[in-house]
Amino acid sequence: MIDCPYYKIVPKDFEDNLRFRTAVLEECRTDPAARKDYLQMCREDILFFLNCFAWTYSPKEFPDEPARPFITYPFQDDGILDMCSAIGKSRRCIPKSREMGVTWMMLS
């Protein structure tokens, strides 16, 4: 299993996540050492990267603000880690249903 040492510090609540992202971006803007540290954290932890920096687009669900932070659900965490662990090993077949985020998971 892939280790995700920083993922737990990212809030999953929508408003808390936005505040966290804003604080991280401000810290990165003003502190070169922090910028370097966050880049390394992203390299080491795919779930930290996605939940802290990635965005998704969902115009059906949120027509007024379709660009949304990509805040993963537990089943997405499992799927993303499974996909990452399979890279370079074999072909992978993933059952896909609508509106579950599989396309965004694969693209990320």
In angstroms and rounded to an integer, the radius of gyration of the C-alpha atoms of the chain is 15
Which one, of 57, 82, 61, 84, lies nearest residue 69 by Cα?
57
Its pTM surpasses 0.85: no
CA angle, corner 85, sides to 18 and 82, nearest 5? 60
Q: Are 85 and 2 in contact (CB under 8 A)?
A: yes
For 6-60, the pLDDT digits (tens) are: 999 999 999 999 999 999 999 999 999 999 999 999 999 999 999 999 998 888 8
